[in-house]
Amino acid sequence: MEKVRQGDYILLMDEKGRKIIVKVKGEGVFHTHLGTLGLSDLMDKKFGSIVKTNLEKKFYLLKPTLLDFLKKMGRPTQIIYPKDIGYMIVTCGLSSGDKVIECGTGSGALTIFLANVVKPRGKVVTYEKRKEFAETAKVNFERVGLDKYIELRVGDLLEEEVDEGEYDAAFLDVDAPWLLVEKMYTALKPSRYLFSFSPSINQIQKTVLEMKRKGFIDIKTLECFIRHMIIEETRIRPDSRVIGFTGYITHARKIDVR
C-alpha cells in the first residue's frame, strides 16, 4: 500500500473534479478553496484515500500521473495533446530502451511522455533554441523525476551536428519543420519514423514535399479529434465543450537512398 511520504507530490481532487497538485513538505498548512489541510496530517495517508479540510470538505488524495503534472505545468508554448502524443508513441512502437531525438522542446510535454516510455535504459535528446523555454522545461523534467533520461541541449539544431543513424524515432515540433527534415534524416536509423507536429497546412505541405525529396517514404498526415460524452443516469449526450483543433501529425519512414 503506497503511502504519502515527505517530498511527495500529491493530487487533491474535490467532488466537482477540480484538481490541485501539492508537494508534501515540512509542517505547513495548505490553503484550498475548501479550507485548509495540515500537510503533516497528509503524511502516511494512503494514496487513494479521502482527506478532509478544517471545514469538513472532502478531497480525494491521489498519486498524480504525468498528465496531471502536465496540466499544471509552466507552459510558455502551446503543448502537444495526449491524444497526439499517444498516437505517435503507438505508431512507431516506442519501447523501453529506445533512443529518440526531439527538436522543439517547448515546455517539455512530449519530451516527458517519450522519456517515460524509453526509460530506464533509453534516452531522449531534445533541442530547444529559446533559453527561457529550456529553463521551464528543465524544471518540468525534474518535477516529474524524468530528468535523468533526458538530455536537454540549448541551441539551434540547424547549426549542430547530430549522431548519425543513432535514433529509433525523431520528433519535430517547430515553426519551420521542413528546415530540419534533412538533419532528422541523418539522425534516424534507416526504416524508422520521423514525426512532425504542426497546426498550419502551409507548413505541412512544405515539410511533406521536403520529406519526399530527402528520402522518406510512407508519408502520412492526419488529425486526431477528441470529444467527451456526458453519461448520467437520465442524460446521455456528447459534450459541447470541445477543443476544435490542436494540430496535424505528419509521419514518415526513412529509407536509405544512398
Return the number of the residue (29 or 242) whose C-beta is nearest its own copies: 242
Confirm if 37 and 29 have CB atoms less than 8 A apart: yes
Return the number of the residue (38 or 47) whose C-beta is nearest its own copies: 47
| Residue 119, number of CB atoms within 10 A of its CB | 18
DSSP assignments along 7-34, one per residue: T-EEEEE-TT--EEEEE--TT-EEEETT
Return the number of the residue (113 or 127) whose C-beta is nearest its own copies: 113
* Grid coordinates belonging to 196: 512532425
Residues 197-256 that bind its own copies (CB under 8 A): 199-202, 204-205, 208-209, 217-229, 231, 233-246, 248, 250, 253-256
Q: Tell me how many residues contact its own copies (CB under 8 A).
A: 85
- Using CB under 8 A, which of 52, 155, 190, 213 touches its own copies? 190
Residue 77 sits in the site that holds its own copies (CB under 8 A)? no
Least distance (Å) from its own copies to the CB of residue 74?
Answer: 19
Residue-level length of the chain: 258
Going 176 to 223 to 227 to 144, the CA torsion angle's sign is: negative
- Using CB under 8 A, which of 44, 53, 85, 126 touches its own copies? 85
Confirm if 252 and 193 have CB atoms less than 8 A apart: yes
Least distance (Å) from its own copies to the CB of residue 131?
Answer: 27
Residue 83 sits in the site that holds its own copies (CB under 8 A)? yes
- Using CB under 8 A, which of 116, 126, 140, 196 touches its own copies? 116
Stretch that binds its own copies, among 25-33, 61-69, 128-136, 170-178 (CB under 8 A): 61-69
Dist. CA 191–CA 253, nearest whole Å: 6
Angle at 132 between CA 245 and CA 12, to 5 degrees: 65
Residue 8's Cβ-count burial label (10 Å; 0-12, 13-18, 19+) is: middle
Residue 21 sits in the site that holds its own copies (CB under 8 A)? no
- Using CB under 8 A, which of 5, 17, 26, 132 touches its own copies? 17
Residues 122-161 that bind its own copies (CB under 8 A): none
**Residue 194's closest CA among 223, 163, 215?**
215
